[in-house]
Amino acid sequence: MERNFKWFLFLRTFFYYSTLSIEILLLRGERYHFLPLYVFACVILIDNLINIFRTKGITFRVITLEIIYFSVFLMLTGDAQSPFIPFYFALILLAAANLSVSKTFVTAGIISVLHGVVMFGRGTIFPEFIFFLKIPSPSIPESILVYTIYVLLYFFVAAISGYIAERLKLEVERLRVTTEDILNAIEPGIITIGNNGKILFMNRAAKEFLFGSDTVRIKDFKEFPTEVKKLFEVQKKDREFKLRGRVFSISRYLLHKGLGEIFVITDLTEIKEMEKKLILYDRMATLGKFAADIAHEIRNPVMSIKGSAELLYRGKIKDKEEVEKLWNYIFSESQRLEKLTRDFLNFSKEIKIERSSVNLCELLKSCIETVSFNPVFEKKKVGIKLHCDNDINIMVDGERMKSSIINLLENALYAVDEKNGEIEIKGYKSGDKTIIEVKDNGIGIPEEIQNMVFSPFFSTRKEGYGFGLAIVKKVVELHGGRIELSSKKGEGTRFRIIL
């Protein structure tokens, strides 16, 4: 309302001063009474100053005074012959937009009366010397006819504009109430702030989240408490924050044509608590599975060691060779237990990544050289092909990445046959990604178990415990990358490390 009133003052000032200036400019040098125009201009100026400091909106009093001022303006610019008489309709439309239908009709009535005074008051009510222009008036019958037509038009426009304005007001109110009810009913908090810092809208949830009460009334961003105001000053689209022991997320969006911002606030406290419980549950489930798997893997060698030790302790085995076999069996099972324990500790302990610049080709050549000392490599006489761009440098933990690639190469060694086994290793760039591929033409991995190869304790080799690929996956993910598997039974396997 206040903004509309300022526009009204600006437009009325522009209208009066521009038209008066044009008339004085065009008629300068002629013998006209300019004094009434100067007085009128001063009255309008004083009225503007009073309205700026005392009036906050377009009321019935404001419109009534404006009709009086305009009627005086008509007398000064030609009374019944003034070209500005149709501007009375603008005042009726102004009343329809800001007042009720009944007051719009009252406005039309006041205009009709003052229009009659302007048309018929010259020489009777008002002396001739106050008129700026002296234009011959039409005959009485013509004046009555014109006046009657105008009066009918005033009430007709009042009826039409009042009806349309009332319908628009009802529709706007319905939309406002409906929208406000919806926004107050939803769980997220909604705040709309204009460019001038004014709070255009704030629903109940936002008030509850930020101020602890849904009844607070704040009209300006400056009225926010300091701790709350800081939350909105950070120029991020989405972020989380804590307030009064609860966790919230806040998202910001620009209003249409940049007229302000919308903030959406969501209470994440329960979600965060649920996430903690799920993480704890997942950890407990993983720990339980690990415990069961370890117990299963340990039980068999422990029982074998126990049985062999009992036989030796009781002296039931007399043959020296059989005794030696039992001792060797106990020793091999003990080594198996030691390897299981070592692999489990390597997997479960925290891995720290220390990055440095490493040439990719040199890294892959070093991995191939290490694998070439593996007895399986000599036995199967496997061919390893390397394809790599020499100018690729990557920021990785060289030793841990080397161990991971060697693990993939050794798995490929065991997968290929002795006659025509081939392994292909590639290193290349794809956009901003670095790709390391290890591909073999071995037996392949059945599709039904491919989703388990990276799980601890899962292995297709009798002597393995399934920690190798699990550690590889962990190392790659600690580098911010991922590892992918593609394989078909009988056609080979390909692992891709994407960094």
Quote the pLDDT of residue 1.
Answer: 46
Which residue has tokens 């909105």? 232
- Closest residue by Cα to residue 240 from 279, 266, 261: 266
Query: Over the chain, what is the mean pLDDT?
Result: 76
Residue 103 pLDDT more than 50? yes
| 348-366 b/e (C-beta count within 10 Å ≥ 16 → b) | eeeeeeeeeebbbbebbeb
Residue 22 pLDDT more than 80? no
Quote the pLDDT of residue 199.
Answer: 80
Residue 464 pLDDT more than 70? no
Residue 490 pLDDT more than 80? no
**Considering only 174-178, 329-333, 457-461, 475-479, which range has the smallest mean pLDDT?**
457-461
All domains of the chain in start order, with CATH: 2-171 (no CATH), 186-267 (3.30.450.20), 280-348 (1.10.287.130), 356-498 (3.30.565.10)
Cα torsion through 110, 112, 115, 120, rounded to 10: -120
Query: How far is Cα 217 from Cα 24, in angstroms, rounded to an integer?
Result: 52
Alpha-carbon Rg for the chain, nearest whole angstrom, is 46
SS3 labels along the chain: CHHHHHHHHHHHHHHHHHHHHHHHHHCCCCCCCCHHHHHHHHHHHHHHHHHHHHCCCCCHHHHHHHHHHHHHHHHHCCHHHCCCHHHHHHHHHHHHHHCCHHHHHHHHHHHHHHHHHHHHCECCCECHHHCCCCCCCCCHHHHHHHHHHHHHHHHHHHHHHHHHHHHHHHHHHHHHHHHHHHHHHCCCEEEEEECCCEEEEECHHHHHHHHCCCCCCCCEHHHCCHHHHHHHHCCCCEEEEEECCEEEEEEEEECHHHCEEEEEEEECHHHHHHHHHHHHHHHHHHHHHHHHHHHHHHHHHHHHHHHHHHHHHHCCCCCHHHHHHHHHHHHHHHHHHHHHHHHHHHHHCCCCCCCEEEEHHHHHHHHHHHHCCCHHHHHHCCEEEEEECCCCEEEECHHHHHHHHHHHHHHHHHHCCCCCCEEEEEEEEECCEEEEEEEECCCCCCHHHHHHCCCCCCCCCCCCCCCHHHHHHHHHHHCCCEEEEEEECCCEEEEEEEC
pLDDT tens digits, 51-64: 777 666 778 888 88
Quote the pLDDT of residue 316.
Answer: 64
Tell me which of 233 and 364 has the higher pLDDT.
364
Q: What is the mean pLDDT of the segment spanning 5-14?
A: 75
Quote the pLDDT of residue 109.
Answer: 92
Query: How far is Cα 120 from Cα 310, in angstroms, rounded to an integer?
Result: 135
pLDDT tens digits, 113-142: 888 888 776 655 555 555 555 555 667 777
CA atoms within 13 A on the CB side of 43: 14
Residue 350 pLDDT more than 70? no
- Residues sharing a CB contact under 8 Å with residue 274, sequence separation 6 or more, in sequence order: none
- Closest residue by Cα to residue 454 from 397, 495, 499, 398: 495
The token pair that represents 370 in the structure block: 């290490």
Band of pLDDT at residue 287, cut at 50, 70 and 90: low
Query: 67 near 111, Cβ under 8 Å?
Result: yes
pLDDT tens digits, 222-265: 777 777 777 777 667 777 878 778 888 888 787 766 678 888 88
Cα-based distances in Å from 24 to 28, 132, 248: 6, 10, 66
The token pair that represents 327 in the structure block: 């001792």
Residue 27 pLDDT more than 70? no
Band of pLDDT at residue 284, cut at 50, 70 and 90: low
Which residue has tokens 């997942």? 282
The token pair that represents 239 in the structure block: 């972020």
Query: 64 near 113, Cβ under 8 Å?
Result: no
Report the predicted TM-score, pTM, of the whole model to 2 decimal places. 0.41
Q: What percent of the chain has pLDDT over 90?
A: 2
- Closest residue by Cα to residue 442 from 472, 411, 468, 465: 411
Query: 398 near 356, Cβ under 8 Å?
Result: yes
